[in-house]
Amino acid sequence: MFVLFTTNGDYYPWWQKLRINESVKVLASLGLPEDKIIYLGYGDRWLGPKHPYNQEGNKQCISYSLREETAGYGNVQDYRYKKSGYHSKFTRKNYLNDLKDAIYDVKADIIICTDFDRHDEHRALTLVFDEAMCALIKEKDYRPIVLKKFAYASVFEGVDDYYSYPFKPTEPPIKNLLNDDRFDTDVPQYRWEDRIRLKVDDDLKKIPLRGSYIFSVSKLYRSQLMTNRLWYMINDDAVYWWRNTKGLQYDAKIDASSGNAAYLNDFKYIDCSDIYPPYGSIKMFDRCVWSPEEEDNKKEFTMTFSSPKDIGEIILFENFDPESNIDDMEICFDNGYSFHTGELKHDGSASVFTFEKQTGILRIIFKLQKTSGPMPGLTEVEVYECHQEFQYDDEILVKYEEGKSSVNRIPEWRISLERFLILAGYNITLFVSPWNLVENIRERRYNNMILKKYDPNQRSTNQ
């Protein structure tokens, strides 16, 4: 296993040393040696009106900590210096190339990447990762299992339900914390019912929390106050979003009668010309929809493969703007087979069409037949040989099964006591004995979340 950090977390200059050292200690405690940790060494936040992601490819950028090139700290070297003997200048092109090279150096079978949320660097990472992944699929035919996971929604900003009885699975994202509460997540194409749910090891779900292994590890991440958030983060399951890399569309050239056809097979569900705008509207995703021009009489695009393909499933993702709809499309294969889609799903999620396998296909034409709204179109088209379902296994990708948790829960009277103390005004971890309570109050160990004044206005609730 490898762990890759794109930034040094040096929003404050003195944090570079702190956060690199913390990451080494935390991962070492989990059994991961330092040579399995990759630091790209990019900055955390930037000077100027735009993030490097939205700059021209070779434009020099300067981080908040006034750095201009990648760096590590002490014996920890940044990726490019370790690999090539020089530091990368802070440019968009270098960020993409460093990430792409690092991914291909490792060639992992499974990749888990942070998804799009309100943090600028999370936004940049997931979008650059999608570009890197698309390039590696097309150039190297590298097709790992890719899972995306939100760092904030349902995790760092999850529901405070660790002491619920019985142990609860992950709740959907809190609506008033989303970019647009008409959707299930901050990526409009994801529907909560389509999430991948993996089993969480029982060792991570121990009561009392302070006696668990994960608590002792989290104490090493003091800069992020991780112990303060564990009861929001740990659930009976772990939720991910599957991005299938097996599609045949990456081996095809797409030409359109009008509109930007490059959006249709770029591995990106979303993209934006400026990642800085605050939450509040899906209008920030202004660079990801193929939509033909209004005066275009054809309103179609052609997918031409480099070699004959056998095709049995097509997945279409409509523009997620609820006012821009495709009510029918005709899909025509070069062997004479064709079908009409009817109305696509107007929330932007996957419209799946499975059919009898068509063999030896070199070309498919997609024609818009009936549309409505200002910008009808598609964000992505996926083409497969057969029906696609996520494949769980018995070792790493273990499927979560409802009601199968084997955690030994504490007696209900202790839970009632915990809840009583919370309602009385203090959020107190459930201690093993009264003496522990007295001792911890005396020592004032607030940094380990032993005692915290309860604020009802800050407590998360599912809207």
All residue ranges of the chain with pLDDT < 70 are 165, 207-208, 210-211, 279, 404-463
Question: Which of 239, 272, 244 is closest to 118 using CA atoms?
Answer: 272
- Per-domain boundaries in the chain: 3-243, 251-384, 413-453
Residue keyed to tokens 């997540």: 185
Contacts of 141 (CB under 8 A, 6+ apart): none
Q: What pLDDT was estimated at residue 232?
A: 87
Q: From CA 463, how far away is CA 172, in angstroms rounded?
A: 10
Distance of alpha carbon 71 from the chain centroid: 25
Share of the chain above pLDDT 70, in %: 85
CB half-sphere exposure, 364, CA atoms < 13 A: 30
Judged by phi (left if over 0) then psi (alpha if -120 to 50, else beta), residue 85 lies in left
Q: What pLDDT was estimated at residue 213?
A: 81
Q: What pLDDT was estimated at residue 428?
A: 42
Q: What pLDDT was estimated at residue 407?
A: 53
For 3-243, CATH number out of 2.60.40, 3.90.1580, 1.20.5, 3.40.50 equals: 3.40.50
Q: For residue 315, what are the β-bridge partners?
A: 352, 382
For 251-384, CATH number out of 3.40.50.300, 2.40.128.20, 3.40.640.10, 2.60.120.260 equals: 2.60.120.260
CA distances from 161 to 232, 319, 348, 353, 426 (A): 7, 35, 31, 39, 16
User: pLDDT tens-digit profile of 435-446?
Assistant: 344 434 433 333
What sign results for the dihedral spanned by CA atoms 2, 271, 282, 182?
Answer: negative
Q: What pLDDT was estimated at residue 11?
A: 83
Q: What pLDDT was estimated at residue 456?
A: 37
Q: What pLDDT was estimated at residue 402?
A: 82
Q: What pLDDT was estimated at residue 444?
A: 36
CA distances from 269 to 50, 130, 170, 190, 350 (A): 22, 9, 24, 10, 11
Q: What pLDDT was estimated at residue 1?
A: 94
Q: What pLDDT was estimated at residue 427?
A: 41
